[in-house]
Amino acid sequence: MDLKSKREDLDSESIERLTLVEVEGVALTSDTAEKWGRIWGFQARPDDLLICTYPKAGTTWLQEIVDMIQHGGDPEKCARAPIHQRMPFIEICPPMFARLEEADAMPSPRTLKTHLPVQLLPPSFWEQNCKIIYMARNVKDNAVSYFHFHRMDQGMPEPGNWDQFLAKFMAGKVAWGSWFDHVRGWWEAKDRHPILYLFYEDLKEDPAQEIQKVAQFLELELPESVLNRIIQHTDFESMKANPMANYTSLSPLVMNHAISPFMRKGTVGDWKEHFTVAQNEQLDDVIARELGGSSLTFRTQL
Ligand code: PPS
């Protein structure tokens, strides 16, 4: 079975988990690595908006907020298709997601999704000076969320147990590579390009303020009544119940929500339920080493 058919062969009882392949020193899933030339050559347009995150940083939440802002806070318009079809995910194209071909055929303005680290972003996005919204999440909750996602998404590499996964995560030996390189690389890039850099924790604490920031970045007016509707439509419980945002429209052979729901907890601080004291101290040391010289700081509780 070739790599592509692993995700396409949905008639069988299970799909095979992908392996990791390095592209320019960054671990990517084998299906992405296989078509890297095509992804690198992706043609961005000047009015494209790119939503960029490390996996599990709140991408879907930000996507739904952006779609609501773009559609005047009308939930009916945002229910036109599942989120993974509304906004093509440029480097991953299993058949149930919008493919690169569909992104090419999509009318402007497009909103696209990526998890690529800054150095692997296709050059046309820089050439076209596209607006980019980046969202980062504290490394501890991000790691926990990524672990549970590996358990439920049957195409992701085998995570092993929590201890094994955390070791791989801290070494950057997971899909899309090192969390540290990712958040730092995009943090530095924001000084050179039109990038709005947001934090999951800020959005959780004060959705009104952060949603207004997004609207301003998109140069769109947001009357208070529309803002309130967006806050309500995109809160965790609403999104968990929304089949157009919660990924339940995918086959359970791909994402098995019985193992762990995509909309799992949606909180800040769940890491405390997973980390041992030793693991926490070890990660604090890595944070101090990796982010010590940077102005980038994170909150691990609210
Ligand atoms: S993916 O697969 O990378 O696109 O996943 P992503 O959407 O980035 O991250 C999923 C986590 O985001 C949480 N989430 C939310 N939190 C708060 N409010 C809202 N509305 C919301 N929507 C999604 C989701 O629950 C995952 O986090 P965990 O910690 O696993 O619950």
Q: What is the pLDDT of residues 137-170, one digit of tens each?
A: 999 999 999 999 999 999 999 999 999 999 999 9
Residue 298 is assigned to a structural domain of this protein? no
> What b-and-e string marks burial along 28-66, b requiring 16 or more CB atoms within 10 Å of the CB?
bbbbbbbeeeebbebebeeebbbbbbbbbbbbbbbbbbb
Residue 36 is assigned to a structural domain of this protein? yes
- Provide the pLDDT for residue 15: 81
Sheet holding 131-136, edge to edge: 111-114, 49-53, 131-136, 195-199
CA of 66 to the centre of ligand 1 (A): 15
Residue 20 is assigned to a structural domain of this protein? yes
Q: Which residues are catalytic?
A: 115
Residue 296 is assigned to a structural domain of this protein? no
| Residue 2 predicted with pLDDT over 50 | no
- Provide the pLDDT for residue 105: 87
- Provide the pLDDT for residue 101: 78
Number of domains in the chain: 1
| Rounded percentage of the chain residues whose pLDDT exceeds 70 | 93
Nearest CA to ligand 1 atom 27: 266
Beta strands at 131-136 and 111-114: parallel, antiparallel or unpaired: unpaired
Q: Among the listed ranges 26-40, 85-99, 173-187, 196-210, which one has the minimum average pLDDT value?
A: 85-99
Q: Are 269 and 142 in contact (CB under 8 A)?
A: no
Q: Is 58 in the pocket of ligand 1 (CB under 6 A)?
A: yes
Nearest CA to ligand 1 atom 12: 58
Residue 104 is assigned to a structural domain of this protein? yes
pLDDT in tens, 33-48: 999 999 999 999 999 9
Q: Is 138 in the pocket of ligand 1 (CB under 6 A)?
A: no
Alpha-carbon distance of 242 to 246, in angstroms, equals 6
| Residue 8 predicted with pLDDT over 50 | no
Q: Which atom of ligand 1 is nearest to the CA of 145?
A: 30
129 pLDDT band, cuts 50/70/90, is: very high
CA of 111 to the centre of ligand 1 (A): 19
Residue 188 is assigned to a structural domain of this protein? yes
CA of 2 to the centre of ligand 1 (A): 31
Q: Is 176 in the pocket of ligand 1 (CB under 6 A)?
A: no
Residue 178 is assigned to a structural domain of this protein? yes
Q: What is the CATH number of the domain that holds 188?
A: 3.40.50.300
Q: Is 270 in the pocket of ligand 1 (CB under 6 A)?
A: yes
Q: Is 92 in the pocket of ligand 1 (CB under 6 A)?
A: no
Residue 105 is assigned to a structural domain of this protein? yes
Q: Containing domain of residue 128, as a range?
A: 3-291
Q: In a 10 Å sphere around its CB, with 0-12 CB exposed, 13-18 middle and 19+ buried, how is residue 113 labelled?
A: buried
